[in-house]
């Protein structure tokens, strides 16, 4: 499993970059949502913190998107131009499979025409029952594959200390992973993954685990600051 950590500021990004076993620095703005987008200049600055000789990659979220393919593709291209190696988009309001695929094809085309090496992440929400406007989690791998995306991800939309496993079981997530793998997709899991979640994550063994709260002071994704010792504690638990 590779580790993705989501700093919201340059100060936090400096802490994350120093932890060499963190694989992805994920530029995010929690105030704007689960996959809230940060500013282009913040993405550029975070990218500059990563040494050219480092294996670390910069990912960037572009938002929890309504069914606006033009806006989504333009936002994705903005993240690409700003230096993101991986671009994540949440399917917030595209409810039909056709709408989701069209939106994601637009994003993939915009980014891959600019740089075919940039990876695209299709993200859905484990707590969609609280939204009623997002595709079923088992549709996500098909949407990702048909649109030409590279990674499929599950997160939670509402950030109220309810996590991934409050909405989906280990068996359901294994099924999600298996569907994705049959379509040659990488799998990422996130959504308030705390220490008590890690044994269940290990049973699933996604390619990528994404976190923020667990490495913030007070486990507070909004007001807490990412701390190096909390990243080290997570690493010890995750890879024990």
Residue in the block written with tokens 């993240």:
79
Q: Is 88 a catalytic residue?
A: yes
Whether 109 sits among the annotated catalytic residues: the reply is no
Residue 163's CB is within 10 A of a number of other CB atoms, namely 23
DSSP assignment of the chain: -EEEE--SSHHHHHHHHH-TT--EEEE--GGG-TT----HHHHHHHHHHS-TT---EEEEEEEEE-S-HHHHHHHHHHHHHHT-SEEEEEESS--SHHHHHHHHHHHHHHHHHH-TTSEEEEEEETTGGGTSSS--GGGHHHHHHHHT-SEEEEE-SS-SS--GGGTS-HHHHHHHHHHHHHTT-EEEE-SS--GGGHHHHHHH--SEEEESGGGBGGG-TTT--B-HHHHHHHHHHHT-
- Distance CA(147)–CA(67), nearest Å, equals 15
Q: Which of 28, 47, 159, 177 is catalytic?
A: 28
Which of 88, 142, 177, 179 is the catalytic position? 88
Rounded CA gap, 61 and 43, in Å?
10
Residues with a known catalytic role: 28, 88
């Amino acid at each position: 499993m590779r580790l993705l950590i989501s700093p919201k500021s340059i100060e936090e990004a400096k802490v994350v970059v120093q932890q060499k076993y963190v694989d992805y620095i994920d530029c995010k703005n929690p105030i704007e949502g689960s996959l809230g987008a940060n500013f282009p200049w913040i993405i550029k600055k975070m990218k500059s913190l990563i040494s050219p000789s480092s294996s670390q990659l910069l990912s960037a979220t572009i938002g929890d998107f309504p069914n606006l393919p033009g806006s989504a593709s333009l936002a994705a291209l903005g993240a690409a131009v700003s230096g993101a190696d991986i671009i994540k988009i949440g399917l917030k309001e595209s409810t039909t499979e056709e709408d989701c695929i069209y939106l994601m094809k637009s994003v993939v085309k915009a980014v891959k025409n600019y740089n075919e090496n940039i990876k695209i992440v299709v993200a859905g929400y484990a707590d969609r029952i609280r939204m009623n406007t997002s595709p079923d989690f088992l549709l996500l791998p098909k949407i990702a594959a048909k649109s030409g995306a590279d990674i499929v991800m599950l997160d939670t939309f509402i950030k109220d200390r309810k996590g991934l496993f409050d909405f989906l079981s280990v068996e359901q997530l294994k099924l999600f992973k298996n569907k994705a793998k049959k379509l040659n997709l990488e799998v990422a899991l996130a959504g308030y993954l705390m220490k008590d979640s890690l044994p269940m994550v290990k049973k699933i063994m996604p390619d990528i685990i994404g976190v923020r709260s667990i490495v913030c002071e007070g486990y507070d994704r909004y007001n807490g600051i990412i701390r190096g010792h909390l990243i080290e504690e997570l690493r010890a638990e995750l890879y024990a």
